[in-house]
């Protein structure tokens, strides 16, 4: 979970988040979130576990975003 103290991201930054343990970037995609693929920090090895039940609303929004992006790419 990101807090309000998280550093603002630029649209040119690769998708992901800073590692809560070491602060290094963790690459994260909508696909990884939706498929429950394990997410690890490549620097310190921390495994991130998503509480899928508590995150259901956010996951639904991510799924809707992913579908909208696919529709947009498919319409070109």
How do residues 4-57 score in pLDDT, each as one tens digit?
A: 555 656 767 778 889 999 999 998 888 888 998 889 999 999 999 989 999 999
The pTM assigned to this predicted structure is: 0.65
pLDDT at 9: 63
- What does the pLDDT read at residue 74? 79
**Which carries the bigger pLDDT value, residue 75 or residue 47?**
47
Q: How confident is the model at residue 58 (pLDDT cuts 50, 70, 90)?
A: very high
CB 76 within 8 A of CB 50: no
Q: What are the C-alpha distances in Å from 58 to residues 24, 46, 49, 52? A: 24, 22, 15, 9
Q: Which two tokens mark 56? A: 């259901």
Whole-number pLDDT of residue 5 = 53
């Amino acid at each position: 979970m990101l807090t309000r103290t998280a550093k603002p991201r630029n649209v040119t930054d690769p998708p992901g988040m800073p590692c809560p343990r070491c602060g290094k970037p963790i690459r994260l995609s909508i696909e990884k979130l939706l498929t429950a693929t394990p997410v690890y920090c490549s620097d310190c090895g921390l495994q991130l576990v998503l509480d899928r039940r508590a995150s259901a609303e956010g996951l639904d929004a991510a799924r809707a975003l992913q579908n909208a992006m696919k529709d947009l790419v498919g319409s070109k």
